[in-house]
Amino acid sequence: MSAWEVTGSIGGVVPAPPCPHLRRLPDRINQRTPTVENLPVEDVLHRFLLERAGVRGTLVRLGPAWHEVAGRADYPPVLHAALGEALAASALLTGNIKLDGTLSIELKSSGALRLLFAECTDQSQLRGLARWNGSLPEPLALDALPDAVMAITIGNVERGQRYQGLVELQHAGLAGSLENYFVQSEQLPARILLAADAGHAVGLMLQKMPDEGGHAAALDDDAWNRIVQLTATLGVEELLGTAPEQLLYRLYHEESVRLFEPRALAFGCSCSRGRVSSMLRSLGRDEVEAALAARGDEIEVICEFCAQRYHFDRIDALHLLSEHAAPGAPDTEQ
Ligand SMILES: [Zn+2]
């Protein structure tokens, strides 16, 4: 089973010492008017502890950042939902690691779904896209896609450090596949829920906390089962339609929920002229010449993630072809 090649077990990193940033959920949250009105309810990542049960969790709720990603293409509904889930998951999986660079989830297949890609950076910037060809099967069973491969990659492009784990695809979908990955690679019980609609993309992850020996705390299997059962009462509409703190209160108010400071998330793209130059250079002279010829001695590259346009005239193009490739430069994505 795939673990990270070097040090990077994704959830194996214990969160930073919690004390200064922890606070309790208010005893009572009015469902219509939140008690703390300036807390973000969209594009936010919450980390929390269920102290009595020995469970840690992360809750991601995306609004505008998801709309930015979803609006880049006319995605078929089934793919729209899968992309939203992947985007929420990419942020969710950064909840319990010290991320340096980016965390990406990438699914490729030779079937109608060609690519599903979502990424979250250490600056809490999210981007994602999907490519497809023809009509997609509904429901979109990931494990039935031909030649499907899904990977989680944690990396720092500048430093050339990348750790990749392959995720076995399960019929239970993206959430079930990721959940299985964590259970297998960390030997700790985990639950992952993902959902997306036109308004929101949401992810909830729970993990039983390890004891000092790194094993799941054995003292309270009942507690884990209790949390799983509480979580199972959550319907998709409730998951999508409820503000984060209200959701945690509704589910776990008898479980001593402790919240860390929330983290703001936002849409953002890491494309740059330098990266596009590297990509063009990797195509080679013949292709660059052909691209110049096709468009009146100009090349236009449009970033699929953010629609940023990059222009290169003949002088630019010849200049970049004469440069040496920057070390570790070309990312597979722009
Ligand atoms: Zn871009």
Q: What is the mean pLDDT of residues 39-43?
A: 86
Q: How far apart are CA 156 and CA 232, in angstroms?
A: 36
Tens of pLDDT, residue by residue over 223-233, are 999 999 999 99
CA 303 to centroid of ligand 1, rounded, Å: 5
Q: How far apart are CA 240 and CA 24, in angstroms?
A: 23
Report how far apart the first and last C-alpha atoms of the chain are (Å, whole number). 30
CA 310 to centroid of ligand 1, rounded, Å: 10
CA 223 to centroid of ligand 1, rounded, Å: 45
Tens of pLDDT, residue by residue over 63-100, are 999 999 999 999 999 999 999 999 999 999 999 888 99
CA 293 to centroid of ligand 1, rounded, Å: 25
From the list 79, 97, 66, 89, the residue with the least C-alpha distance to 204 is 89
Structural domains of the chain, ranges and CATH numbers in brackets: 42-267 (3.55.30.10), 273-322 (3.90.1280.10)
CA 131 to centroid of ligand 1, rounded, Å: 16
CA 271 to centroid of ligand 1, rounded, Å: 4
CA 17 to centroid of ligand 1, rounded, Å: 35
Residues lining ion ligand 1 (Cβ < 5 A) are: 269, 271, 303, 305-306, 308
Q: What is the mean pLDDT of residues 246-250?
A: 94
CA 73 to centroid of ligand 1, rounded, Å: 14
**The pair of three-digit structure tokens given for residue 330, joined into one six-digit string:** 């070309």
8 Å CB contact between 84 and 230: no
Q: What is the mean pLDDT of residues 291-301?
A: 91
**H/E run at residue 49:** strand 44-50
CA 132 to centroid of ligand 1, rounded, Å: 20
**The pair of three-digit structure tokens given for residue 208, joined into one six-digit string:** 């039983």
225-236 residues labelled b (16+ CB within 10 A) or e (exposed)? ebbeebbeebee
**Confidence at residue 80, expressed as pLDDT on a 0 to 100 scale:** 97
CA 334 to centroid of ligand 1, rounded, Å: 7
Q: What is the mean pLDDT of residues 115-133?
A: 97
The string of DSSP letters for 238-289 reads HHHHS-HHHHHHHHHTTS-EEEPPPEE-EE-----HHHHHHHHHHH-HHHHH
Angle (CA) 307-308-310 rounded to 5° is 130
Q: For a pLDDT cut of 90, what percent of the chain falls above it?
A: 66
Q: How far apart are CA 103 and CA 122, in angstroms?
A: 8
**Confidence at residue 170, expressed as pLDDT on a 0 to 100 scale:** 86
**Confidence at residue 19, expressed as pLDDT on a 0 to 100 scale:** 39
CA 47 to centroid of ligand 1, rounded, Å: 29
8 Å CB contact between 178 and 11: no
pLDDT category at 161 given cuts 50, 70, 90 is confident
**The pair of three-digit structure tokens given for residue 179, joined into one six-digit string:** 């959940």
pTM of the model: 0.84
Residue with the larger pLDDT of the pair 2 and 306:
306
CA 152 to centroid of ligand 1, rounded, Å: 21
**Based on the number of CB atoms within 10 Å of its own CB, is 2 exposed (0-12), middle (13-18) or buried (19 or more)?**
middle
Residue 175 C-beta-side C-alpha neighbours within 13 Å: 19
CA 272 to centroid of ligand 1, rounded, Å: 7
Residue 17 CB: number of other CB atoms within 10 A? Answer: 8
